[in-house]
Structure 1
Amino acid sequence: MIKTGALSVIGALGAMITTLFGGWDTGLATLVLFMTVDYVTGLIVAGVFQNSNKTENGALESKAGWKGLCRKGTTLLIVLVACRLDLMLGSNYIRDAVIIGFVFNESISILENVGLMGVDLPPVLVKAIDILKNKTEGDKE
């Protein structure tokens, strides 16, 4: 009886959260999957290969991991804001555009992590990553 009640509460909370994000569609599922793959590959780079560019010695550090989780959470908050903007404006494209942008960003991060593991990437991907990194670093100046 308690188990059924607890599962019902968890299910209701999950449904409420999913509704806030505009529903559990392919875009949101893809973003969450890519975020998970990025986080796990980042853990592997730091924990196994000790080649992370997020820490001084390249090793696994809880502070760097926590920062990564905070970034992922903030990404989801931006998706939530985009969803609410869509509802307010009566449109359907702001949330999707934000999700697509973040999926591309996660894809680049995954490729960077795979490269740090020593996996040979096609030269075209390496060049694209370098171009995007240089453009981002140029914007910060």
Structure 2
Amino acid sequence: MADLKLMALTALGLLGGCIAELLGGWDAGLQSLFLFMAIDYITGLIVAGVFKKSRKSQQGALESLAAWKGLFRKGVTLGVVLIACRLDLLLGATFIRDATIIAYCGNELLSITENIGLMGMPLPKIITQALEALRKEEEIKKGEEK
């Protein structure tokens, strides 16, 4: 049984290492992005499961489809980071991947802040105003798409 566990953990470690290498290495940017993604996902689950205030479902409650959509979105985010990393390799640069990671980190931080607000925790006024401005901008974009 110990051998099976060791083999499984070794395979998991190799897989994780290969994925990290494909994404440009396990540096501070990628670590931060993974951390922010995890915190966003967990706070989103708390908002839906405990507070029943999720904007991802009609009832505001936890729904497995909304949770899966969130995971798939995070996977697509990592796919975009992979593309940015490959573009850097083609161009002999490092700024495309870094800029992409920074942009997605900012997006995750906004989502975390929004989740914290939905939990009823007090937020500084400047953050509330920034979130409201982003929400209005998103509504304008959605209106233009229709």
TM-score bracket, shorter-length normalisation:
over 0.9
Q: 2:126 aligns with which of 124, 127, 135?
A: 124
% same residue: 56
**Equivalent in the alignment of 1:42:** 44
**Equivalent in the alignment of 1:111:** 113
Map Cα deviations across residues 101-141 of structure 1 (whole Å, 9 max, x no partner).
00000011001100000001011000011111212222231
Q: TM-score by structure 1 length? A: 0.95
1:76 and 1:130 mapped to 2: Cα distance? 27
Map Cα deviations across residues 72-113 of structure 1 (whole Å, 9 max, x no partner).
110010001000000011000000000000000001100110
Which piece of structure 1 moves more, 11-20 or 1-10? 1-10
Segments of 4+ moved more than 6 angstroms: none
Q: How does 1:82-97 map to 2 (within 5 A)?
A: 82-97=84-99
**Equivalent in the alignment of 1:13:** 15
**Alignment of 1:63 onto 2:65:** yes
Aligned residue-pair number: 141
Q: TM-score by structure 2 length? A: 0.92
> Residue 28 of structure 1: CA displacement?
0.4
Gaps in structure 1 of 5+ consecutive residues: none
Which piece of structure 1 moves more, 4-13 or 20-29? 4-13
**Equivalent in the alignment of 1:136:** 138
When the two chains are superposed, the root-mean-square deviation of aligned CA atoms in Å is 1.1
Q: 1:77 aligns with which of 52, 55, 79?
A: 79
> Residue 3 of structure 1: CA displacement?
3.5
**Equivalent in the alignment of 1:52:** 54
**Equivalent in the alignment of 1:24:** 26
